[in-house]
Structure formats: C-alpha cells, structure tokens
Amino acid sequence: MNPLSARVFFYATNPDPKNGGFLHPKDTRRHAVKVFIPGVIRSDYAYLDRVIASMRNWRDYGPSLQRLYAMEDEHLAQKGPEHVENARRRRSPLPAHVEWFMENYDLIRDFSARRFPMRLHTYEKLLAEPERILGGLFEWLGAGDLAGGLAAIDEKVRTQKIGPIPEGMPGHHVEIFDELWQTLHDEKPLAGSLVRQMNDVHHELQAMYGSLSRERGRDDTALSNSSSTAEAEAAAKAGRT
C-alpha cells in the first residue's frame, strides 16, 4: 500500500487547487493513509473505505505529547529560533487531557453521524494481544502482512507510562475519561449513560476553554443519547461495524 497525503481527501484540495489533479475514490481504495483525528473528520466520506483508530490512555497522552514537542523543538532549533516559534504557535493551547477527550469525542461523534466502517482499539490492547488485534484487522482489510506487523510491535519502544492526574482536573472528569478508555479497552459498546456523561463533560469543557478545536469541520452537535446509537458510536467491539 502506498501512502498518500491526507489533504487529497478533503473537498477543498481534491481536485488540487494548483494543478487540477483529482484522485477518484475507486483509485485510492488500496492506499493507506495515516492521519490524525481532525484529518478523518475533514475527509470526504467516499474515501473512508476503512478507518482504523487507536486510542492511548489519557493519563500518558500528556507526557507523550510533551516528548513529541521537545523532539520537534530540538530538530527545528537547528534551522533557527523562528522555526521553533512558528511550530509552537500552531500547537493547541489546550491542556493535553482536554485535547485527548476533545479529539476522541469528535471521532466518536463523526462516526455516529456518518457511519463509515471503523474499528477502534486501545494502544494498550494492541501491545497486550498483538496477534489477535492485528490478525483481525488484516482480515477485515483483506490485506496485510501479519508476520511483518507483529515484528514491528515492540513494547520497548513505548517511552511513556501512566502520568499523574493534572492539577485542577475535576474528579468527575477523571472518572469519565477512565471509563471511556476502559470501555474501549474492554471492547465493549458505549452505554447510553456514558454517552450522556460525555456530552455533559463536553459542554463543561466548552464553557471552560471556549472552542475546543482549531480544525472542527462540523457543528458542535452532541452525541445521540439513544442506546441503539450509542452501541454503534465507537465501534468499540472489534468486528462490530
């Protein structure tokens, strides 16, 4: 599978505004593209033939993000301080745990609205059961090198462990973040009660931080509270969608 730039799947850049080149959905079905969650949300539905999403524990998301930023700063510093400053201006001003919730909430909401085929696993589950998780994903895709995929998974490359709870984080947010991660880690559907709590947290975070994302592509509608929709909401159980 050949990588493609995520931008080609966005309606504003496909056809390419500079050269008019257009990639048809049928011509890209056998291409794999790695994007962050905002890229999935902005992608045209016709190009979302299969979506594989990975969620890591929110408690180590912050330390991991800081490590990534430090590595980026070190690299850009070689080009000049202005490059570092430009990179820092592009970064989200949100606390890492808020960004974690916002992006995963957006993904679940986008899936529940557009119902593209998706499988979502936690990063920790992949490390714990790599053969089962990868084997199921490759079977679902109808392609893939299981032996090569397993060889690429190495617990030693995991640089971050569970970090402390951020100072000032409300206790009920901690509980809901943990429950969301644990539900998906256990490959269970989201209960309607959890969806309602997620909506409440989302509203609270909006009140605290204003607009939660620089790249929101649709209105801030809440997740559905119906139990039937909630089960589909995250495709939490492998093979469910």
pLDDT for 137 equals 94
State the pLDDT at residue 28. Answer: 82
Is residue 48 within 8 A of residue 10, CB to CB? The reply is no
In-domain check, residue 199: yes
Task: Quote the distance between the C-alpha of residue 39 and its chain's center.
Answer: 9
What pLDDT is attached to residue 126? 93
Q: Does a structural domain hold residue 28?
A: no
Task: Enumerate the β-bridge partners of residue 66.
Answer: none
Domain that holds residue 64: 35-233
The pLDDT of residue 166 is 87
Q: State the alpha helices, DSSP H only, in 91-170.
A: 96-114, 123-128, 130-141, 146-151
Residue 11 lies in a domain: no
Residue 19 domain flag: no
Q: What pLDDT, on a 0 to 100 scale, did the predictor assign at position 159?
A: 58
Is 211 among the domain residues? yes
pLDDT the model gives residue 161? 66
pLDDT in tens, the chain (241 residues): 333 443 447 777 888 888 888 888 888 888 888 888 888 998 899 889 999 999 999 998 887 788 888 888 889 898 998 888 888 888 778 888 999 999 999 999 999 999 999 999 999 999 999 999 999 999 999 988 999 999 988 776 665 567 788 888 999 999 999 999 999 999 999 999 999 999 999 999 988 887 655 444 344 556 665 443 444 444 444 444 4
Look up the pTM and report it.
0.78
Does 50 map to a domain? yes
Q: What's the chain's Rg over C-alpha atoms? A: 19
Predicted local confidence at residue 150, as pLDDT:
92
- Domain count across the chain: 1
Contacts of 69 (CB under 8 A, 6+ apart): 91
- Report the DSSP pairing between strands 118-122 and 51-55: parallel
pLDDT in the model for residue 218: 40
Torsion of CA 44, 46, 51, 57, to 10 degrees: 20
Q: What's the pLDDT at 163?
A: 72
Closest CA to 46 of 14, 18, 4: 14
What span, in angstroms and rounded, lies between the C-alpha atoms of 23 and 44? 12
User: Do the domain assignments include residue 27?
Assistant: no
Domain-embedded: residue 3: no
